[in-house]
Structure 1
């Protein structure tokens, strides 16, 4: 695998940081490539060298975070962590990237993240649905899965938009108890 030039990495990180900072200040639709270039202290051409447009840039940032969440999930499986401990890792990740997630969830582009996050959760939880539990016997597996995933995403959004009113472990334990009733 070819080694990436540190200048390229530095420019890309500055561009990502710039778009997040600008999203705090104004609506994403009002942000221009020139705004991003000025904030990142790069030329417009540098942005277009790495991204098609500002939407591609935001998609790539979202993809990056979804991939990191996927890696956390995979490492939880490898380490044989229980549901609560694996969720603590996710909530700690959300906490350490609070600026991004709080900005994104309060913007008009929240649905882009929400749908990708839901896809990840469906992928990760679909094999954990237990229809043999008395509470689930009469229910469709897909309905249970959608209920759990939607609930999980809603809790994450609530927790982030409310300024993380409890520590990651506390929210992970409470969510784990609620979800364990259906998994």
Structure 2
């Protein structure tokens, strides 16, 4: 894998941070490339070197976080739901500005549906409707229920200023999942 120049990474991170910060101040549709460039302290041309437009930038940011969450799921495959949840909630805490902005913004529907889709995909192998507590239930309904609960819990956590410590919310949601999905 080719090594990426640190200056490029630094510019891309500044651009991503700038667009996230700007989204806390105004609607995404009202943000211009010039606004992003000014906030990131880069030239407009630098943004266009990496992204087609602001929508491409946002899509790539969303995709990056979804891929990171997917990778975390795969690295936690041999863990309990509590342990795996802790890794996810640590990630949410570390990237709280992005997630809280995306879940609270007016354009959140697209992001929320992508997030929900990811949770459904990652929990699908864990849901067994042939035996145990979920025997005879529709796998799709079980997945939709738990994925909606997880996404809703993350939204609630951000909206309430992450007052519940990361380890507590991860442990308690993990216990609930352990009880119902194993």
What TM-score does the superposition give when structure 2 sets the normalisation length?
A: 0.92
- Equivalent residue number for residue 124 of structure 1: 122
- Equivalent residue number for residue 86 of structure 1: 84
Give the SS at the match of 1:165. Answer: coil
Give the SS at the match of 2:180. Answer: coil
List runs of 5+ in structure 2 lacking aligned partners. Answer: none
- Equivalent residue number for residue 74 of structure 2: 74
- Equivalent residue number for residue 8 of structure 1: 8
- Equivalent residue number for residue 111 of structure 1: 109
Compare 173-182 and 2-11 and name the one that shifted more.
173-182
Contact 1:105 1:161 (8 Å CA) reproduced: no
Kindly provide the CA deviation profile for residues 105-130 of structure 1, in whole angstroms up to 9, marking residues without a partner as x: 12122222212212211111111112
Contact 2:81 2:175 (8 Å CA) reproduced: no
Distance 2:150 2:62 in 1: 18
2:20 is aligned with 1:20? yes
Distance 2:156 2:15 in 1: 28
Give the SS at the match of 2:48. Answer: helix
- Equivalent residue number for residue 172 of structure 2: 174
Deviation at 1:90, TM superposition (A): 0.5
Kindly provide the CA deviation profile for residues 7-28 of structure 1, in whole angstroms up to 9, marking residues without a partner as x: 2111111111111111111111
Compare 47-56 and 172-181 and name the one that shifted more.
172-181
Give the SS at the match of 1:182. Answer: helix
Contact 1:130 1:182 (8 Å CA) reproduced: no
Name the Cα RMSD after superposition.
1.5
Distance 2:154 2:17 in 1: 22
Distance 1:132 1:156 in 2: 29
The count of residues paired between Structure 1 and Structure 2 equals: 181
